[in-house]
Structure 1
Amino acid sequence: MGPGDLGRLLCGLELPRDPNLLVGAGTCDDAGVYRLTDEIALIQTLDFFTPIVDDPYRFGQIAAANALSDVYAMGGRPLLCMNILACPIKTMPEQALRDVIRGGLDKVREAGALLVGGHSIEDAELKFGLSVTGLVHPQRIWANGGAREGDVLVLTKPLGTGILTTALKGGLSTAADEECIARLMATLNRLPAEILREMVEGGTTTVHAATDVTGFGLVGHLHEMAAASARTLRVRVADLPLLAGALDLAEMGIIPAGAHANREYYRPWVECRLPPDSAAEMLAYDPQTSGGLVLSLPPAGAAELLARLQQCDYPWPCAVIGQVSAAGAARVVLE
């Protein structure tokens, strides 16, 4: 569902208030956070979708990684997971459904969490995902509000999954392309999150704001960060890490409908200083599946994070992509 449709559905709803509800729906954050004690807060999220790859096992992995990402984006660690499964049980081979569930289970195990059950219904189209419960210290939550002037913005995965999967459906990409994007989408955001939590606990940096990049594209999620932080976020489009071939495909006009919908919706809050009809601009709106973390933190902390990821042989390009400007109009600048 696009951001405009979702906004209309939620408009006017009275949001709950509770002194222990530390993060609710009001700031469009990645998950809800509820304080249990002075030392423990509960993170709650869920995510599910239809298949974007043909392989059932890989689909299960990707759907699970995508759901788990919200907990990492809040600075927490996943604890318990429950399956969400809708499937055409009478027409789909049972082995394929088992492979979907097995893919999700393997990714939950990789995250160090426990699968404790789930819910399934019969449906005409396959859908799969997870409800995830995580834990975080109440004083160490990474919300999407709080970005500060002088911070830099770090992106931990390359962009382009929406464009490449569109090309895949149209027969315009190779088997190697398919393998690359499947591996990317199945990669947990665990390593960058754990390194950064260790840095925060060691006192070498602070995280002022964080989110992950999913269906609303980089610009959409940065808009939410800008609005929650009352800051302007400046993005150097030339510095964005991209999947190989994504820019070439965008220049050919291979752009998913979701990217156009994102651009149309977020246009009022974006200042674009790029040439008209820039293909690079569309990559900033490209809807991602299981995308990377976007982090607002001091420059020294960003440099240390990137260096440590490189030392750990992190398999994906990541980079400083921009900076946070002074308080004022909450907007995103593409330059």
Structure 2
Amino acid sequence: MSEPRLTSLAHGGGCGCKLSPSVLRQILAGMPQAGLFANLMVGTETSDDAAVWRLNDHQALVATTDFFMPVVDDPFDFGQIAATNALSDVYAMGATPILALALVGMPVGQLSTATIGRILEGGASVCAAAGIPVAGGHSIDSVEPIYGLVALGLVHPDRVLTNRGARAGDVLILTKGLGVGIFSAALKQERLSPKGYAALITSTTQLNSIGAALSGMAGVHAVTDVTGFGLAGHALEMARGSGLAIEIDTTALPLLDGVEALARDGVRTGASTRNLDSYGEFLDLPTAYEAFRRDILTDPQTSGGLLISVAAEKADAVLTLAREAGFHQAEIIGRVVDGPVGLRVLGG
């Protein structure tokens, strides 16, 4: 008997499953502050990518978890994407991963053990490429298929990268093309070409391992990875964390090949609308901003690129590092400026 498509078993897919930024802020508003823990270097205060705990004068532990429902139907590809996405949070903090634990929730009555095994194999293959083991985990029988990792890494306490260190005058570099959510929506609608699918897999399984190198580079002031809240949402988190304004040039945004045509044709995700509704007055869009450009700006990325705030005179070095590491679409997309906290979009 043939099994159902993985994406048909889930109400959402990839990082598009995340709670909207506004809902998450309401939930976290009641969280107790962690000021009593002197060794907690990064907690929940600025919506950063991972927690950081100082172990000693030379090591800090980076801890994060990420999991979601299928963004594609191939089980091995799904496992690869989920694992790559989870490890990205470690790299975004400037750390090197040391081990992972698997988080598995599967509708056992609808998926075979072989299919579930292929999901785990995909995740393990990414961890092997990152040079770490999947050292354990936890599994449950669930209504929808869910897979991800707990990921741990190490970084020198003086080299931790956060989303709150941007400085006025910095430029912003994005390392991957946008449009993963639009591609995944097109896949569900059976409108994604084989070429588009290949581009989707290539982007979402590319490890953001340059993060560890960025932590030692002069002029790199803040880093975050772009995932479910879209470029606009994660740039806004950086602006809030740094207490500054960010300007993005919409005409400079790198896009995965074929995304613009799909977006112009109205392909979008429900998460894109939830994201937009969450930004409120902190997002300033140009008058008569084209709808397809807005959808790209708010498009939830799964295993997206790094957003890097770097001193303008050091930007070429960061671009060279990224492009030599295979991030061929890395581009300067904006800048950090003084002014009221928020995100201003220019052009378009």
- Normalising to structure 1: TM-score of the pair? 0.94
Aligned to 1:318: 330
Give the drift of 1:273.
Answer: 1.9
Distance 1:41 1:246 in 2: 39
Aligned to 1:69: 88
User: Structure 2 matches for 1:160-171, cutoff 5 A?
Assistant: 160-171=179-190
Instruction: Single out whichever of 109-118 and 20-29 deviates more from structure 2.
Output: 109-118
Give the drift of 1:195.
Answer: 4.0
Query: Does residue 1:13 correspond to 2:13, yes or no?
Result: no
Aligned to 1:298: 311
Aligned to 2:343: 332
Query: Does residue 1:154 correspond to 2:173, yes or no?
Result: yes
Counterpart residue identity of residue 95, structure 1: A
Counterpart residue identity of residue 151, structure 1: D
Q: Which runs of 5+ in 1 are unaligned?
A: none
User: Structure 2 matches for 1:186-205, cutoff 5 A?
Assistant: 186-190=205-209, 192-197=210-215, 200=217, 205=218
Distance 1:150 1:276 in 2: 26
Q: Which runs of 5+ in 2 are unaligned?
A: 1-18
- Normalising to structure 2: TM-score of the pair? 0.91
User: Structure 2 matches for 1:164-243, cutoff 5 A?
Assistant: 164-190=183-209, 192-197=210-215, 200=217, 205-243=218-256
Give the drift of 1:196.
Answer: 2.5
Counting matched residue pairs gives: 327
Give the drift of 1:274.
Answer: 5.2
Give the drift of 1:299.
Answer: 1.9
What root-mean-square deviation, in Å, do the aligned CA atoms of Structure 1 and Structure 2 show? 1.4
Query: Does residue 1:131 correspond to 2:150, yes or no?
Result: yes
Give the drift of 1:315.
Answer: 5.0
Distance 2:32 2:179 in 1: 36
Q: 2:297 aligns with which of 284, 290, 297?
A: 284
Aligned to 2:105: 86
Distance 2:221 2:287 in 1: 28
Distance 1:307 1:207 in 2: 14
Distance 1:123 1:321 in 2: 41
User: Structure 2 matches for 1:52-67, cutoff 5 A?
Assistant: 52-67=71-86
Contact 2:175 2:322 in 1 (8 A): no
Q: Aligned with 1:120: secondary structure?
A: strand
Deviations 1:148-183 (A, max 9, x none): 011100000000000111111112221221121022
Distance 1:29 1:43 in 2: 11
